[in-house]
Chains A and B, each alone.
Chain A
């Protein structure tokens, strides 16, 4: 398919602005741009068709099943979009007088109140723009807390080996040394190894529960207590919150700080990779460190205040506000009953799939009840028959299904992590289970087909080595066109 630049013809364009604006032309002198940028020269009709073609080569959760473990690809409700598109939200300047933004501040305040109730926290900031950004904010709180107590020895963060890559990357961004704790044979944190690793130099622990294998670590209270005993803080990675809403609160599991992914648990769309929103919540004793400003509710009259020991800002203004609007609309739709039902059914759907795939695929922890996701392993098939998780995943594409998350978590070899979410029907799950089994049969009957897949997609497997060795990151052939 051609690029916009390859479709450009000199002289073409759209007619959005008048040629003459009717005002005196100011001379920019030495500040004038010398070389005009090469941007597309294309008519509105061609532009429209170009993106229609691109849309056909794009697969969203609105197109079909999307069992990406750790991503919670649930249905994106349309009323959320309608609310976020209200002019009374989109046309509000962030620096308007406080009396004219009471609606926006109420949205943030209510969202904070409800999300704190769901997670067992006392305060929340919506400034972080994504989950990783929320993690960054959370660790900033940990650093600021220890610094405020002149406790400068604490330079280590403890992270289980099953953790998402953003966890150690975030710790590194703050100059912490990462201490990796291995998982025990049940997939949980190895308590003895944890006890041996903690000390006066422990700043905190980063953990998610259920963990990235989809299991609820039953020792959670003991784990968080071990950290508290040595004076560290516990940070909860909220990526897996969809499994426990209304059932367990991170705040009750010994966590002091959390981040949430509104674009996962709270149904806001992924948009091809963002924008998300990664609010960071904390217990009372950490509130004064939150990024500035925070929303204060004085009897339904809202103001913005800077927390006394604020870590500063992690981005301009207040956060991805329209995303929060979508999430709040969703929470109001769900209500107290719906929130719990979401988690109950997320867990049900995952177990339903897992139990029925257990006779076909190797599921390392398949004898336990999983939470909202589970992991299958193709390690044995790779070793014996040369068929990898990648082959299975690419083959699923030929059956119209987006593959599960591949090669994560790292502690399971040739992993495929499956998270169906609660918004799938029983028929869809049954259909998908059948397809998974069909694909598995190909391992013995037609392994070459698996290696060659996908065949039916717009393109086939990409030469990623070439992409990395011969960097071609932009169009540059202006002279040719």
Chain B
């Protein structure tokens, strides 16, 4: 059993005596009898390190690691360069606290400043914050940013990730923003419905680009409609796709948010992930969460510091627009290293691999009887429909350690291809499907 308490029982008794207590019981004697626990906790006995890791590994081995992953839907299997893991494992970064004491936290603060810069550049926006919990909560927070006295309606595309939609609805249940969902037509936002729905009470419109089906929406057209009624345009973007597709800024967004997991963070059964938020200079004070700014110290040396803290809960308390305290600093660090390692050229290469390989798979699947459901440009995810029975198909894939696309219903599947899927891997998938189709 370990408790990481370095002092021995003998030392502990001595310390107790030094401050006037004969025992631990005496130290806690001021706790009322009617609440103090009389029995020991019903937990197993503690384990030594070798035993604990055997126990955990046994549980972990009940999971299945797929060798070939063709599933996305909000969690993407991208290649993580070795240098990312190496740098991220530095103990200083892992065990540091929030950089409230700027003098000894310049390392963390500078890395956040670099992160903010890179996210701003990636999205084309003016400024970014130091990160939030994940893409879904970032979307919900962005909607909160757009609320005004006379604008309390948030319009949401139905073509977004269902978990993001659920999160937006939950936050709206909390704060009373009215949520209106704009329906889809052929896998994209119904522009006509959008046009006729928005009015001067519209706070914002939230679009996912590419959307949940992988389709590229007509963001620029939507931007015009939204801005005409004086509302704000929020785009939930996919950071890898920004290596080659139009940035949120180019599409007319006022706020860009997204899930940063693809930037060097493993799929990890859904977390910890990384939410990023970027916006225009006009809206910077509405950004929730931590922000790092550059200044100087009293000797005139460059110095980074947490700034605009008067927006935050620890100062504003019940007047704060968000209660967010922690960010995902460590994940933001990983993302920074990833973006710095790849650079713009590397990111474009990854984006193109995803784009090209996905289209290759889509064409081949078409030949095998998997019809493309929506005839629209897509990035690296797409939906197919076929008469092949899913049970048979997925059983065969299971044998080959292939995680196929996500079944959306009995006949439709949402496929995803990344740079991690080699040609051999894609061909293996195609061969398996060919066998099942026979």
A14 touches B341 (CB 8 A): yes
Scoring B92, B105, B267, B353 by chain A CB atoms within 10 A of each residue's CB, the highest score goes to: B92
Instruction: Check A425 for interface membership: any CB of B closer than 8 A.
Output: yes
Give Cα A22 to B353, complex, Å.
Answer: 9
Stretch at the interface among B18-26, B151-159, B185-193, B225-233: B18-26
Answer whether A173 and B316 are a contact pair too, CB < 8 Å, given A35-B250, A246-B37, A273-B99.
no
B137 touches A129 (CB 8 A): yes
B43 touches A336 (CB 8 A): yes
B95 touches A76 (CB 8 A): yes
Which residues in chain B, 76-90, are within 8 Å of chain A measured between CB atoms?
Answer: 77, 79, 81, 83, 86-87, 90
Instruction: Check A364 for interface membership: any CB of B closer than 8 A.
Output: no
A44 touches B83 (CB 8 A): yes
Instruction: Check A196 for interface membership: any CB of B closer than 8 A.
Output: no
- Residues of A within 8 Å of B44, CB to CB, are 332, 335-336
A28 touches B244 (CB 8 A): yes
- Residues of B within 8 Å of A402, CB to CB, are 97, 101, 104
Specify which of A61, A114, A332, A472 is in contact with B55 (CB 8 Å cutoff): A332
- Residues of A within 8 Å of B259, CB to CB, are 316
A246 touches B327 (CB 8 A): no
Residue of B nearest to A277 (CB): B272
Answer whether A33 and B247 are a contact pair too, CB < 8 Å, given A14-B343, A458-B106.
yes
Which residues in chain A, 201-227, are within 8 Å of chain B measured between CB atoms?
Answer: 216, 218, 220-221
Instruction: Check A23 for interface membership: any CB of B closer than 8 A.
Output: yes
Interface digits, B140-164 against A, CB 8 Å rule (1 contact, 0 not)?
0000000000000000000001011
A467 touches B104 (CB 8 A): no
Stretch at the interface among B165-173, B194-202, B427-435: B165-173
Chain A contributes a number of interface residues (CB within 8 A of B) equal to 199
Scoring A40, A83, A174 by chain B CB atoms within 10 A of each residue's CB, the highest score goes to: A40
- Residues of A within 8 Å of B224, CB to CB, are none
Interface digits, B119-153 against A, CB 8 Å rule (1 contact, 0 not)?
01110101110110111110000000000000000
B293 touches A467 (CB 8 A): yes
Answer whether A314 and B137 are a contact pair too, CB < 8 Å, given A100-B63, A335-B46, A473-B116.
yes
Answer whether A474 and B120 are a contact pair too, CB < 8 Å, given A51-B87, A272-B93.
yes
Interface digits, B5-20 against A, CB 8 Å rule (1 contact, 0 not)?
1110001101110111
A66 touches B97 (CB 8 A): yes
Answer whether A311 and B40 are a contact pair too, CB < 8 Å, given A75-B4, A275-B331, A323-B272.
no
A140 touches B170 (CB 8 A): yes
Give Cα A175 to B353, complex, Å.
Answer: 47
B90 touches A55 (CB 8 A): yes
Give Cα A77 to B301, complex, Å.
Answer: 36
Give Cα A16 to B264, complex, Å.
Answer: 13
Specify which of B87, B301, B320, B353 is in contact with A172 (CB 8 Å cutoff): B320
A93 touches B75 (CB 8 A): yes
Specify which of A54, A171, A246 is in contact with B110 (CB 8 Å cutoff): A54
- Residues of B within 8 Å of A17, CB to CB, are 79, 346, 349-350, 353, 419
B284 touches A89 (CB 8 A): no
Which residues in chain A, 74-96, are within 8 Å of chain B measured between CB atoms?
Answer: 74-77, 79, 81-83, 86-96
Answer whether A28 and B1 are a contact pair too, CB < 8 Å, given A313-B166, A316-B135, A462-B102.
no
Answer whether A338 and B307 are a contact pair too, CB < 8 Å, given A94-B270, A272-B93, A402-B101.
no
Instruction: Check A448 for interface membership: any CB of B closer than 8 A.
Output: no
Q: From residue A248, how far is it (CB to closest CB) to chain B in Å?
A: 5
Give Cα A248 to B34, complex, Å.
Answer: 10
A466 touches B5 (CB 8 A): no
- Residues of B within 8 Å of A150, CB to CB, are none
Interface digits, A315-339 against B, CB 8 Å rule (1 contact, 0 not)?
1111111110100110111111111
B113 touches A47 (CB 8 A): no
A104 touches B3 (CB 8 A): no
- Residues of A within 8 Å of B83, CB to CB, are 14, 44, 47-48
Specify which of B164, B298, B317, B419 is in contact with A460 (CB 8 Å cutoff): B298
B42 touches A336 (CB 8 A): yes
Answer whether A26 and B359 are a contact pair too, CB < 8 Å, given A459-B297, A462-B305.
yes
Which residues in chain A, 297-353, are within 8 Å of chain B measured between CB atoms?
Answer: 311-323, 325, 328-329, 331-342, 344-345, 347-349, 351-352
Answer whether A102 and B63 are a contact pair too, CB < 8 Å, given A24-B360, A369-B30.
yes
- Residues of A within 8 Å of B394, CB to CB, are 97
B59 touches A467 (CB 8 A): no
Q: From residue A358, how far is it (CB to closest CB) to chain B in Å?
A: 10
Residue of A nearest to B103 (CB): A457
Give Cα A369 to B116, complex, Å.
Answer: 45
Interface digits, A18-30 against B, CB 8 Å rule (1 contact, 0 not)?
1101111110111
B53 touches A91 (CB 8 A): no
Interface digits, B262-306 against A, CB 8 Å rule (1 contact, 0 not)?
000011111111000000000010000011111111110111010
7 A-B pairs with C-beta separation under 8 A: A14-B81, A130-B324, A133-B137, A166-B313, A348-B27, A473-B284, A474-B120
B163 touches A170 (CB 8 A): no
Contact residues on B (Cβ < 8 Å of other chain), bracket: 35 or more
A252 touches B35 (CB 8 A): yes
Instruction: Check B437 for interface membership: any CB of A closer than 8 A.
Output: no
- Residues of B within 8 Å of A4, CB to CB, are 114, 340
- Residues of B within 8 Å of A319, CB to CB, are 270-271
Give Cα A79 to B325, complex, Å.
Answer: 27
Instruction: Check A118 for interface membership: any CB of B closer than 8 A.
Output: yes
Answer whether A460 and B56 are a contact pair too, CB < 8 Å, given A3-B110, A270-B98.
no
A323 touches B173 (CB 8 A): no
Give Cα A120 to B36, complex, Å.
Answer: 12
Give Cα A71 to B97, complex, Å.
Answer: 9
- Residues of B within 8 Å of A466, CB to CB, are 295-296
Contacts A333-B46, A348-B24 supplied; 15 other A-B pairs, CB < 8 Å = A4-B114, A39-B343, A41-B345, A68-B97, A129-B272, A136-B174, A143-B174, A165-B320, A269-B330, A273-B330, A316-B134, A321-B269, A336-B45, A338-B46, A345-B7
B56 touches A328 (CB 8 A): yes
B43 touches A335 (CB 8 A): yes
- Residues of A within 8 Å of B284, CB to CB, are 471, 473
Answer whether A272 and B97 are a contact pair too, CB < 8 Å, given A313-B167, A369-B27.
yes
Instruction: Check B108 for interface membership: any CB of A closer than 8 A.
Output: yes
Give Cα A459 to B329, complex, Å.
Answer: 21
Residue of B nearest to A424 (CB): B6
Give Cα A424 to B295, complex, Å.
Answer: 35
Instruction: Check A135 for interface membership: any CB of B closer than 8 A.
Output: yes
Instruction: Check B342 for interface membership: any CB of A closer than 8 A.
Output: yes
Q: Which 9 A-B pairs have the closest CB atoms?
A: A335-B46, A317-B270, A271-B330, A58-B107, A60-B95, A273-B329, A312-B170, A94-B270, A168-B318
Instruction: Check B368 for interface membership: any CB of A closer than 8 A.
Output: no
- Residues of B within 8 Å of A325, CB to CB, are 56
Instruction: Check A285 for interface membership: any CB of B closer than 8 A.
Output: no
Specify which of B91, B266, B307, B323 is in contact with A135 (CB 8 Å cutoff): B323
- Residues of B within 8 Å of A129, CB to CB, are 133-134, 137, 271-272, 326, 328
Which residues in chain A, 105-153, are within 8 Å of chain B measured between CB atoms?
Answer: 106-107, 110, 114, 117-118, 129-133, 135-136, 139-140, 143
Answer whether A42 and B340 are a contact pair too, CB < 8 Å, given A168-B317, A276-B326, A474-B127.
yes
Instruction: Check A238 for interface membership: any CB of B closer than 8 A.
Output: no
Residue of A nearest to B58 (CB): A103
- Residues of B within 8 Å of A38, CB to CB, are 121, 344
Instruction: Check B222 for interface membership: any CB of A closer than 8 A.
Output: no
Interface digits, A168-205 against B, CB 8 Å rule (1 contact, 0 not)?
11111111001000000000000000000000000000
B113 touches A475 (CB 8 A): yes
Specify which of B53, B124, B175, B317 is in contact with A169 (CB 8 Å cutoff): B317
Answer whether A131 and B325 are a contact pair too, CB < 8 Å, given A89-B269, A246-B41, A422-B3.
yes
Answer whether A96 and B272 are a contact pair too, CB < 8 Å, given A33-B247, A252-B37, A461-B298.
no
